[in-house]
Amino acid sequence: MTLGRLNHVGVATPSIEKSIAVYRDFLGATEIGEPFDVPAQKVRVCFVDTPNSQIELLEPLGEGSPIAKFLEKNPAGGQHHVCFEVPDIRAATAEMAAKGARVLGEPRIGAHGTPVIFLHPKDTGGVLVELMESPQDAH
């Protein structure tokens, strides 16, 4: 597996609206999408575009959201994961599992509409890593 482009950095927040204000009014972001729900991952999502990447704002959605658990430990929110693109999620999953990585769950459709997996931070230097299949029309 060759690690691809950094697609986005995931940031957990108790309020997407408040985080949008931080990125727009405090940091000067000009390209901010509309928030939307990803029920499969129990999150509400909003993408803030930067010239070379994106910030993925994540708010808990419904019961048992992994973001709710994160916010229990980090009530103000904070950096949650980094997401790299790979050409083939099935191949990447198999390869990482063969290397002994703890792959969290089966590939599932992520916020960009392509399949994603997560790698346990204990195997990746303390950083929760999302691998995302590159969108077909992206590059």
The rounded distance, in Å, linking the Cα atoms of 26 and 38 is 27
Minimal distance, residue 101 CB to Co ion, in Å? 17
Confirm or reject binding of residue 56 to Co ion (CB under 5 A).
Answer: yes
Confirm or reject binding of residue 83 to Co ion (CB under 5 A).
Answer: yes
Minimal distance, residue 109 CB to Co ion, in Å? 12
Exposure pattern of 16-49 as b/e (b: 16+ CB <10 Å)? beebbebbeeeeeeeebeeeeebeebbbbbbbbe
Q: Which of 20, 130, 133, 134 binds Co ion (CB under 5 A)?
A: 130
The rounded distance, in Å, linking the Cα atoms of 130 and 101 is 13
Say which of 56, 59, 85, 130 is annotated catalytic: 130
Is 130 a residue of the active site? yes
Confirm or reject binding of residue 10 to Co ion (CB under 5 A).
Answer: yes
Catalytic residues, which ones? 130
